Amino acid sequence: MSDRIGTIFGFLGGTIVAVESGYKVFPHPKPDKIYNRLSDAKWFLALRWCDNLSTPAGIINHIGELSFFNQIVLKIGEEQFIPKQYLQEVFAQCLHLKANETITYNLPFGDRVLEIQALEIDSRYGKVALVRELSRAADTL
């Protein structure tokens, strides 16, 4: 099968290239990896985006679950990042946004500000919210 290059576009700090046999992502730890679906390539870059941040970050899916989070959240705990009772509320903030738009959101407790980015990875499931912490009281980290 040929890997002739087609469409090229940037996505969350990476590049997705359409080739005849699927989609390649750059940078990728396996440069020959080809994703069969565009949504799989986008999902890989969304996970990498979270992992590369030096602040707590995660992805809230269309049903209001924290479907992925980075090592910092693993260290501090999901409940310290976004308590379960606020996940739906945080996700709801992205519903009125266009894809790739961001807003800031003050959690209703403490001194915490989140950045929420609306993202469409797979049209079958609707938007997801990329969430990262922008600020936190110094004594809680």
Residue 65: pLDDT over 70? yes
Number of domains in the chain: 2
- Domain membership flag for residue 48: no
Single pTM value for the model: 0.85
Whether the CB-CB separation of 41 and 23 falls below 8 Å is answered with yes
Average pLDDT on 88-107 reads: 93
- Indicate the burial class of 81 (C-beta count within 10 angstroms; 0-12, 13-18, 19 or more): buried
CATH number at residue 60: 3.30.450.20
Write out pLDDT tens, residues 107-133: 887 788 999 999 999 888 889 999 999
Please report the pLDDT score of residue 11 as a whole number.
Answer: 87
Query: Residue 88 is part of which domain span?
Result: 53-140
Are residues 20 and 61 part of one domain?
A: no
